[in-house]
Amino acid sequence: MISNRLRPLVRHIVIIALFFSYAGLGFAQGAPEKYFPIYEGGKWGYIDNKGVKVIATKFEGAGEFVEGMGLIVGDGHGGFIDAKGAEVVKTIYDGVNNYSEGVASVMQNDKWGFIDKKGTVVVPMQFAIAQKFVNGRARIKEGTGLLNKWGYIDRRGKLVIAPQFEDASDFSEGLALVSIKGKFGYIDTNGKVVIEAKYDIGSIEKINDIPVYVTGNFSEGLAAVLVGDKFGFINRKGEMVIKPQFDYVSGFSEGLAVVGNKEKYGYIDKTGKMVIKPQFGLAESFSEGLAAVNTGTIVSGSWGFINKTGKLVIKADYDGSVTLGPLVFKGGLAQVKFKDKTWGYINKEGKVVWRKKK
């Protein structure tokens, strides 16, 4: 979940986009490329996964590379560079999100639209809110009032699912989680309800009325649902395949999902079998074969990384992630906070490849 401490930090939508880029909270569609933002001398630049600086530190802000494009900030506005560091989309936008399916949502004059990788506007600025494209659909709102609902557009900007949902997620594996009369179910890309809205899904975390974290998206063919006060998992037919029994769950990643009961966390496989017993104060999803775990309690302790047997392979020497988001390996590196409160990147052997100076 996103900490309540995050909300006071978020004062500008450009900052939101960058913050989520650093945190890796799922706004980036597809695998990150092997350029990583660094901060030196009051400016941002990029290193590769060996720690070699590949783009000079010259930007006011920088996010991760996605689909060959790096999100940057200049004079308080967002734009994009390519892998050579050339500014291919000028920093003229009040709001930006990372590229997904070849386009990025951007904001000017309080309206959102979409640009391609040359910076050409392909969907005019017309929406109160517009999120990324997934499975050929993007979530939008036409207004910001309480009566305005979420709908979906196609790549041409045509409204294909009318605004009607109080809450809605991006599509994932062809299905989207939506709220209908206070309950949650799933629609397909045509807007047809394919899994009845009957679940108390848990929560859709929001910042500035934008859902940013959703428990319940489909991942590896399964989705977590809340029945009463316990989580279980359904398949794409809506069949309960892992009975509700957990206080906390994550989505499946690399065949395993985090589950928790009574403040201890472990991992199950897709049959519901506990393969790494609950023993951690907190735990993150597996990524690139490793998962971050807190070896202390939910409010204290240090972070390290385990493999899929549950063995601690990178010592618990870290205070966690830099941005309150998930602590995960992406492109061979993980961004970590050290005990002296500095931050940097480690590789999958636990070696520090870059560290910010105090």
* Domain limit, last residue, from 127, 149, 174: 127
Q: Give which of 177, 221, 220 is closest to 199, Cα–Cα.
A: 177
Q: Which two tokens stand for residue 122?
A: 């392909």
Asked whether residue 147 is assigned to any structural domain, the reply reads no
Q: What are phi and psi of 97, to 5 degrees?
A: -125, 155
Q: What is the pLDDT of residue 24?
A: 30
Give the integer Cα–Cα distance in Å for 194 and 238. Answer: 8
Is 314 within the bounds of a domain? yes
CB atoms within 10 A of CB 4: 9
Q: 1: pLDDT confidence band, cut at 50, 70 and 90?
A: very low
Distance of CA 84 to the CA centre of its chain: 25
pTM: 0.86
Strands lying side by side in the sheet with 104-108? 95-96, 104-108, 111-115, 121-127
CATH number of residue 321's parent domain: 2.40.128.630
Query: Is 118 within the bounds of a domain?
Result: yes
Q: Alpha-carbon distance 35 to 55, whole Å? A: 9
pLDDT higher than 80, residue 349: yes
Count of the separate structural domains present in the chain: 2
Q: Is 357 helix (H, G, I), strand (E, B) or coil?
A: coil
Check the CA dihedral 226-227-229-231 and report its sign. Answer: negative
Cα-based distances in Å from 50 to 199, 333, 350: 45, 9, 13
Tens of pLDDT, residues 55-107: 999 999 999 899 999 999 999 999 999 999 999 999 999 999 999 999 999 99
Residue 119 lies in a domain: yes
228 or 136, which is more confident: 136
> Considering the domain boundaries, does residue 159 fall inside one?
no
Per-residue pLDDT tens for 256-294? Answer: 999 998 889 999 999 999 999 999 999 999 999 999 999
Q: Which two tokens stand for residue 253?
A: 């990643």
- The total of other beta-carbon atoms located within 10 Å of residue 297's CB is 12
In a domain, 92, yes or no: yes
| Structural domain containing residue 57 | 1-127
